[in-house]
Every structure is written in C-alpha cells, then in structure tokens.
C-alpha cells in the first residue's frame, strides 16, 4: 500500500491544484438535491456538489451506482431517454438548466460530451471536426478550426496528411481523440467524458489522460471512470458514488458518498465505504 501512496504523492505534486496554489475557485456547476428517476426507479438521489472551473473532476464508484447517469444530467442528455425525470437543481453558472425557459440544445452546445465508445461520424476526419461549427453557422475559417481542434486534441501530427480519409479508418484511441477534437471544435465551456478510455488499450489510455490534463487549462472537465488509478492520475477532485440498498423496500439508488480533493480522498478518506472501495474490497 505504501508504494502506491508514494506514487500518488509524486504524481500529484507537479499539478497546479488547490494544494500548491490556494485560490478562489470559480463554480461552474452547482447541484442541489439532484435525483434522477426512470419511471418508478430512482437511479440517483439527493446529490449536492459543486464542480469547479478549469479542474478535472472524476466520478468513481462501482458499476450501476448512477455516476454516468448523473453525468448525463449536466448537458441534459438524459432528456433523450424515455421516462427519465430529473428533480432538484442543476445550476450551470448560476442558471438551473432544467428551468422551463432553457433550451437543452443550447446547453449541449456549451457543455460537450465524449462517450465510452468512440463514435465518429461515418465521414472524413476533416468533416467530423467541421461538422459542429458548420451546423452552428460558421462559414469561414473552418480549416483553422479543424487544425486547432486537432492540435488541441494531440491528433494533428498523426492525421494532418490524411484529413480526407474516413474517420473510421483510425485506431480506437485516435478515434476517441478525434471525438474530443470534434467536441472542442464547437468551443464548449465544459467537456463531459463518460469512461472515455474504457474501450482503449493502455497506451491509448495514457494519451487520453495526458490530454485531459492539458485540456483542463482551457476547459472544465468532468470524467466518469471505472479506473481508480486513472482518477488519481488525472483529477483534481474526486467524487465517490455508491449504491444504497434499502432491504425493506427492496429499492436501490445511487448516492454521493464522499467528494473532495483527489489526493485527500485517496489517502485519507473520511468514509469507511470510500476507504473499502479504494482498497479494492468491493467494486
């Protein structure tokens, strides 16, 4: 165990986190009593948390604990699931995005998402990136957007000579970085990542993790991951979710157990469940 802890400290030392640079953190999302229901089934209940600007926030927890479901409320992707209902308040920059007058399409424009499986469009690499801006009415400078987005996603050097070839001809890791670049191209404020590396090999995973750290300078990132080491490597803050089982009512729901700076959560968890989970006792 001590070995691991030393590694953790090493890896977090060079980061500009609240540990080294005390600063006022700007809140991007503020969640109050958020719950998500599918029909009668309550997938997540009573989550209160804040997501801070230009940080990487990781959601960890056993499968089925509702962490991906919660992530999808941040850009109202849940709306697309039949019978789903969000209660409580999800405030983005102070505005509840579930208010009547809010257009989910506008929300998604500002809050991008990268999915578990790379999902490039069956078009060329260039057209994948250009797709978003074009559809938002951008007519000029598309070439620049494509190049910048690909550079920011650390993919430019690998694809600059074959921008016209089909996106599906890229490797899985490249496809995922393409999806990140596609998301960057519409200049979002926040990028949500739903287990972005779970379908990738270790080398591709490292590249994505490295990229996340770089992107945090410009964007706010929330990432769901299965992989605790990954959360340790990339995130500033970590939230641990767990399944709460009510034996009497025979119901189960996802709850937020503990949330705090990543290094603290991993080295000195307050909650016993968290401690058990990071030690690998369940999951």
Partner 1 sequence: MTLLSTPRSTTKDVAIALQTSKASTRKERLFQLFLLFSTLVGLVILVVLLVDIVVDGFSSLDLGFFTDYTSRRPEDTGIRAGLTGTLSLMVLVALIAFPIGVGSAIYLESFAPRTWFTRFMQLNITNLAGVPSVVYGLLAAALFAYILNFGRTLITGALALVLLILPVIIVAGKESIKAVPPSIYQGAIALGATPWQAVYKQVLPVAMPGILTGTILALSRAIGEAAPILVAGAVFSRRADSEPWNLTEPFAALPVQIFDFVKRPQEAFQVEVAAAGILVMLFVLLLMNSAAIVLRNRYSK
Partner 2 sequence: MCGSISILTTLGIIYVLFSEGINFFSQISIIEFFTDTAWRPFGDPENDAFRIGVAPLVVGTLLVTVIALSVAVPLGLATAIYLSEYASKRIKRKVKPVLEILAGIPTVVLGYFALTLVTPFIRNIFPGDTIDIFNALSAGLVVGIMIIPTVASISEDSLSAVPQSLRNASYSLGLPKSSTVLRVVFPAALSGIISSILLAMGRAIGETMIVAIAAGNLPSMTLNPGSQVQTMTGYIVQAVGGEASRGSLTYNSIFAVGIILFLMTFILNIIANYFTKRFREVYE
Rule CB under 8 A: which residues touch partner 2? Answer: 75, 77, 80, 105-110, 112-115, 117, 119-123, 131-132, 135-136, 179, 182-183, 186
C-alpha triplet 69, 187, 193: angle, nearest 5°? 25
Asked if 103 interacts with partner 1 (CB under 8 A), we say yes
Which of 24, 60, 49, 51 minimizes the C-alpha distance to 225? 60
Long-range residue pairs from 6-13, CB within 8 A, at least 24 positions apart, any chain: 8/232, 8/263, 8/266, 8/267, 9/263, 9/267, 11/232, 11/233, 12/232, 12/262, 12/263
- Cα separation, 41 vs 63, in Å, equals 16
Task: Enter the tokens of residue 94.
Answer: 């102070």
Asked if 106 interacts with partner 1 (CB under 8 A), we say yes
Least distance in angstroms from the C-beta of 38 to partner 2: 16
**Whose Cβ is closer to partner 1: residue 110's or residue 123's?**
110
Q: What part of residues 143-172 is at the interface with partner 1 (CB under 8 A)? A: 144-145, 148
Among 95, 162, 210, 279, binds partner 1 (CB under 8 A): 95
Least distance in angstroms from the C-beta of 12 to partner 2: 30
**Whose Cβ is closer to partner 2: residue 33's or residue 165's?**
165
Asked if 92 interacts with partner 1 (CB under 8 A), we say yes
Task: Enter the tokens of residue 258.
Answer: 């503990």
Q: State the binding partner of 135 from partner 1, partner 2, none, CB within 5 to 8 A by kind.
A: partner 2
Q: State the binding partner of 178 from partner 2, partner 1, none, CB within 5 to 8 A by kind.
A: none
Asked if 187 interacts with partner 1 (CB under 8 A), we say yes
Least distance in angstroms from the C-beta of 118 to partner 2: 9
Q: Helix, strand or coil for residue 210?
A: helix
**Whose Cβ is closer to partner 1: residue 155's or residue 200's?**
155
Q: 3-state SS of 149-203? A: HHHHCCCHHHHCCCCCCEHHHCCHHHHHHHHHHHHHCCCCCEEEEECCCCCCCHH
* Cβ burial, residue 213 (10 Å; 0-12/13-18/19+): middle
Give the contact letters, 109-148, x = binds to partner 1 (CB under 8 A), - = no: -x----------------------x--x-x--x--xx--x
Report which secondary-structure segment, H or E, holds 59: strand 56-60
Half-sphere exposure of 15 (CA within 13 A, CB side): 26
Q: State the binding partner of 265 from partner 2, partner 1, none, CB within 5 to 8 A by kind.
A: none
**Whose Cβ is closer to partner 2: residue 134's or residue 213's?**
134
Part in contact with partner 1 (CB under 8 A); list of ranges 88-96, 196-204, 205-213, 270-278:
88-96
Least distance in angstroms from the C-beta of 114 to partner 1: 18
Cβ neighbors of 202 (< 8 A, separation 6 or more) are: none
Residues contributing to the site for partner 1 (CB under 8 A): 92-95, 97, 101-103, 105-107, 110, 133, 136, 138, 141, 144-145, 148, 186-187, 189
């Amino acid at each position: 165990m001590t070995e691991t802890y030393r590694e953790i400290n090493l890896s977090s030392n060079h980061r500009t986190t609240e540990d080294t640079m005390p600063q006022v953190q700007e809140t991007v999302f503020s969640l109050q009593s958020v719950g998500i229901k599918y029909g009668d089934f309550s997938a997540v209940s009573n989550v209160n948390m804040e997501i801070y600007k230009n940080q990487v926030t990781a959601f960890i927890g056993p499968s089925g604990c509702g962490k991906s479901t919660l992530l999808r409320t941040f850009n109202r992707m849940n709306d697309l699931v039949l019978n789903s209902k969000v209660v409580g308040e999800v405030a983005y920059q102070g505005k509840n995005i579930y208010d009547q007058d809010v257009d989910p399409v506008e929300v998604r424009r500002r809050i991008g998402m990268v999915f578990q499986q790379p999902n490039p469009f069956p078009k060329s690499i260039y057209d994948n990136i250009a797709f978003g801006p074009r559809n938002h009415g951008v007519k000029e400078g598309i070439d620049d957007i494509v190049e910048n987005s690909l550079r920011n996603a650390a993919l430019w050097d690998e694809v600059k000579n074959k921008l016209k070839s089909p996106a599906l001809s890229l490797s899985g890791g490249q496809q995922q970085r393409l999806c990140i670049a596609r998301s960057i191209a519409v200049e979002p404020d926040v990028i949500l990542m739903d287990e972005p590396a779970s379908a990738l090999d270790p080398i591709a995973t490292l590249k994505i993790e490295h990229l996340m750290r770089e992107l945090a300078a410009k964007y706010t990132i929330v990432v769901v991951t299965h992989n605790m080491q990954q959360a340790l490597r990339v995130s500033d803050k970590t939230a641990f979710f767990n399944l709460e089982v009510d034996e009497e009512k025979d119901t189960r729901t996802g709850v937020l157990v503990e949330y705090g700076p990543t290094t603290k959560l991993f080295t000195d968890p307050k909650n016993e469940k968290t401690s058990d989970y990071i030690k690998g006792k369940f999951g």
